[in-house]
Amino acid sequence: MSKKILIISGSPKKDGNTALLIKWFIEGAREKNAVVEIVNAAYLKYKHPGCISCRQCQKNVEYGCVIDDDAGPVLIKMISADVIVMASPLYFFGASSQIKILVDRMFSLYKWDNAAGTMQTPLKGKTLVFLGSAFEDIGLDALEKPFALTAEYTGMPFESLLVAHAGTSGEIVKLPEAQDRAKTLGRKVA
């Protein structure tokens, strides 16, 4: 059975290093007949720039954010995906704000019972993948860490591909090993 892969790009550049990593990852995944959908977080329309901590999602039976904007359908797609891929360049030692908005809104995909000390989420067991690149080799560990922690907390197997010395936008093509590693990871998770 083909795996369903949802890729969320956190880069506003359509031809940058993140876009190329995604392209190569998809090539590998499609070799294994995966069904792939890409969402570019930079082009979504939001009513609020992140979670506003209204906690209405915790009162609803359904999973999902109560704010009616473009984030809602993406969050619902995460529930039906087998693999969720987050991709971002390193922006000041963290992920881009474009992807961070969706990550913050993922709060609505968890239900906590603080009194019982329990948490439920439909994301448990799905694979979380992170694709990241940086101009130099500084900061990639900080870029990856929030995604690794999210996977661990949620009970999701985690994979990542971090490319140091990727250069400026589009220069990652000068690193053929990055292309090979992205395709290999795509095949692996598919």
Tokens describing residue 165: 């010395």
pTM attached to this predicted model: 0.94
Map residue 19 onto helix, strand or coil: helix
The number of domains in the chain is 1
State residue 48's pLDDT score: 84
How would you label 154-185 residue by residue, b for 16+ Cβ within 10 Å and e otherwise? Answer: bebebbbbbbbebbebeebeebeebbebbbeb
User: ∠ CA 106-108-109 to the nearest 5 degrees?
Assistant: 70
Residue (of 156, 138, 142, 68) closest to 105 by Cα position: 68
Whole-Å CA distances, 141 to 7, 97, 161: 21, 17, 11
Give the separation between CA 62 and CA 139, rounded to whole angstroms: 37
Per-residue pLDDT of 70-110, as tens digits, reads: 999 999 999 999 999 999 998 888 899 999 999 999 999 99
Whole-Å CA distances, 37 to 6, 93, 108, 186: 5, 27, 21, 13
State residue 169's pLDDT score: 87
Neighbours of 149 (CB within 10 A): 11
Give the separation between CA 15 and CA 22, rounded to whole angstroms: 11
State residue 45's pLDDT score: 92
Q: What is the CATH number of the domain that holds 151?
A: 3.40.50.360
State residue 25's pLDDT score: 97
Residues of the chain with pLDDT under 70: none
Domain that holds residue 13: 4-189
Whole-Å CA distances, 87 to 40, 67, 80, 113, 117: 10, 24, 19, 31, 32
**Residues written for the chain:** 190
